[in-house]
Homo-oligomer: A and B are copies of this chain.
Amino acid sequence: MSDTRWLDDHEQKTWRSFLTATRLFFDGIERQLQQDSGLPHAYYEILVRLSEAPGRTLRMSDLASTSLSSRSRISHAVARLEENGWVRRRPCEHDKRGALAELTDAGMAGLREAAPRHVESVRRGLFDALSPEQVAALRDISDTLVGHLSNEPVWPVADDQARTRTGREAAG
């Protein structure tokens, strides 16, 4: 309890700045996408993943893992996108438990229409602000974090998966 490794002043400032920066940035991305295309960013990403998949089709759980989403989230999201006619659901032949999500032509068209403004907002919010050195550093940092966070099972991903609370006990 009292042996907490508190943040020193510099860490504190870094943390808060990071928090503020990412909030401002992602709030902006989210808002732009919502206003221009009526899509949350998570949904946009689903469309992107599907558009890049062979046959514009992915199994629901593959879609979940490539999108860093829970299966439940994908279910709800695909249901909504299906109502819009942007995605179609089809049964999986080999495994009758499975379901395939396929990007329709309308979905592809919607994605193509949404992309330019989205990319523009990413560029304006991120790349226009940073120097080439900062961009390089950001990539380095992000890669490091991804490696660190995706290997360590520090935080169990909920939804169906076993809740092995690894690592938590060591600190508490």
Contacts and interface: CB of A to CB of B under 8 A. Distances in A.
Contacts of A26: 22
A172 interface: yes
B25 A145 contact: yes
Indicate the size class of the contact surface on chain A.
35 or more
A122 B28 contact: no
A84 interface: no
A71 to B, nearest CB: 15
Contacts of A126: 15, 18, 145
Contact of A142 (B18, B122, B128): B18
How often does this chain occur in the complex, in copies?
2
A41 B57 CA distance: 35
B116 A4 contact: yes
Contacts of A18: 126, 138-139, 142
B129 A148 contact: yes
B5 A119 contact: yes
A139 B17 contact: yes
Nearest to A18: B142
Interface in A82-124: 115-117, 119-124
Sort A-B residue pairs by CB-CB distance and give the 6 closest, nearest first. A129-B148, A28-B155, A17-B142, A21-B145, A4-B116, A137-B137
Given A22-B142, A121-B154, A124-B154, 13 more contacts: A5-B119, A13-B139, A15-B122, A15-B126, A18-B126, A20-B150, A28-B155, A121-B155, A126-B145, A134-B137, A137-B137, A137-B140, A141-B141
